[in-house]
């Protein structure tokens, strides 16, 4: 199946200057990231704050332009942001943020907010738009009487449902969800995740789901990409990665996820804080925190390699059985 979205060795570098006479420094927010999302599937991106997952989401939507590499949507290079070609694509690609209140206009009713993209893209007449809004409210589990409410009259979970309804209004092919449930209670998180899975099954929308929570990512994703300091360090099938994570960073993340049943992996606690992206360590960027780093890790950036089980891992020890079995 042809991928809906492809990132091919995409990089995004920001140049910052602290002070008038200071030398500009480079922050490599996304570093040679290659990803694919098939129609109707979900790719989950997980990693700590500052790992580049949100920038990857913005590259996927064409909101950012890669400094190197290429982003393709339906096998065509992503047009530059703001161009007519890019604006036409926006109907097919929508973004959902963590903060629904910030994404909404407090003066408009929920129905008016959901109808907005239909009006912007001239979808249907007034009656058809009203029917579509009523359907979307049902799809996301909001009651008809909530259509005339304003954002501050709804709970956080209800607001996020309304934001999702608005994002789905134009029947996009791709939804980029950037930490969409992080601010919600755990019980509401589970409801939204289940709802997204139902919507995907019914509509065939593909999703790029970004979260720092590996448990949520596993629940919703068909493929997982683990990012560390701008790079994808492990990518593959969620069950394979959970059963036997290979990259030391993935192993630490997986070990921190609570598992039911008597057998629980020993938690791997990483030394140190996540490094500053502006002061990227040499060689493998994970080496200062890696519990199994070897001498070469300080100087040599490990290439991503595909393993026999189909996953991609960027670690010098990826094919070292003693480490994998440890
Ligand atoms: Fe650790 Fe070296 Fe692998 Fe990096 S390349 S994750 S430092 S073992």
- CA atoms within 13 A of residue 310's CA, in its CB half-sphere: 8
Q: Is the confidence at residue 324, as pLDDT, over 70? A: no
Ligand 1 pocket member 290 (CB < 6 A): yes
Neighbouring residues of 274: CB distance < 8 A, sequence distance ≥ 6? 48, 49, 50, 51, 229
* CA-297 nearest atom, ligand 1: 2
| pLDDT for the residue numbered 17 | 73
- CA atoms within 13 A of residue 313's CA, in its CB half-sphere: 23
Write the pLDDT tens digit of every residue in 207-250.
999 999 999 999 999 999 999 999 999 999 999 999 999 999 99
* CA-296 nearest atom, ligand 1: 2
- Of 32-41, 69-78, 180-189, give the lowest mean pLDDT range: 180-189
Domains of the chain, start order: 5-16+25-92+172-325 (3.40.50.300), 103-170 (no CATH)
- Helix or strand holding residue 89 (H, E): helix 84-89
Residue 2 phi, psi dihedral angles, 5° rounding: -70, 130
Ligand 1 pocket member 292 (CB < 6 A): yes
pTM for this prediction: 0.92
Q: Is residue 169 within 8 Å of residue 121, measured between CB atoms?
A: no
Residue of the CA atom closest to atom 7 of ligand 1: 287
Distance of CA 45 to the CA centre of its chain: 5
Q: Is the confidence at residue 97, as pLDDT, over 80? A: yes
Ligand 1 pocket member 318 (CB < 6 A): no
Q: State in Å: Cα 208 to ligand 1 middle.
A: 27
Write the pLDDT tens digit of every residue in 7-56.
999 999 998 776 667 777 889 999 999 999 999 999 999 998 889 999 99
- Helix or strand holding residue 320 (H, E): none
Q: Using alpha carbons, select from 302, 276, 277 the residue that is nearest to residue 287.
A: 302
Mean pLDDT of 280-295: 93
What confidence category does residue 323 fall into, taking pLDDT thresholds of 50, 70 and 90?
A: low
- Triad 114, 77, 122: Cα angle to 5°: 25
In whole angstroms, give the CA distance from residue 17 to residue 15.
7
Pocket test for ligand 1, best of 271, 272, 294 (most atoms within 8 A of CB): 294
Q: State in Å: Cα 179 to ligand 1 middle.
A: 28
Q: State in Å: Cα 35 to ligand 1 middle.
A: 21
């Amino acid at each position: 199946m042809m991928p809906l979205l492809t990132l091919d060795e995409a990089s995004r570098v920001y140049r910052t200057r602290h002070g008038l006479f200071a030398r500009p420094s480079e922050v490599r927010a996304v570093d040679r990231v290659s990803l694919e999302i098939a129609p109707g599937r979900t790719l989950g991106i997980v990693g700590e704050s500052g790992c580049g997952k949100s920038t990857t989401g913005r590259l996927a939507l064409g909101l950012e332009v890669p400094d190197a590499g290429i982003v393709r949507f339906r096998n065509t290079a992503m047009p530059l942001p703001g161009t007519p070609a890019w604006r036409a694509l926006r109907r097919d690609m929508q973004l959902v943020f963590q903060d629904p209140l910030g994404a909404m206009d407090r003066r408009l009713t929920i129905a008016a907010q959901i109808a907005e993209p239909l009006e912007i893209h001239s979808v249907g007449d007034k009656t058809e738009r009203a029917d579509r809004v009523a359907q979307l409210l049902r799809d996301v589990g909001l009651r008809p009487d909530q259509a005339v409410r304003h954002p501050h009259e709804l709970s956080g979970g209800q607001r996020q449902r309304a934001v999702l309804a608005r994002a789905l209004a134009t029947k996009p092919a791709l939804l980029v969800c950037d930490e969409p449930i992080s601010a919600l209670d755990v019980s509401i998180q589970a409801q939204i995740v289940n709802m997204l899975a139902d919507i995907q099954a019914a509509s065939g929308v593909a999703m790029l789901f970004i979260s720092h929570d590996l448990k949520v990512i596993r629940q919703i994703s068909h493929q997982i990409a683990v990012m560390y300091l701008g790079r994808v360090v492990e990518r593959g099938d969620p069950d394979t990665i959970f059963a036997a994570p290979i990259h030391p960073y993935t192993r630490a993340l997986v070990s921190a996820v609570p598992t039911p049943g008597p057998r629980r992996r020993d938690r791997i606690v990483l030394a140190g804080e996540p490094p500053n992206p502006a002061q990227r360590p040499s060689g493998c960027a994970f080496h200062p925190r890696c519990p199994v780093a070897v001498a070469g890790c300080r100087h040599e950036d490990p290439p991503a390699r595909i393993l026999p089980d189909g996953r991609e891992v960027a670690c010098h020890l990826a094919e070292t059985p003693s480490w994998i079995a440890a």
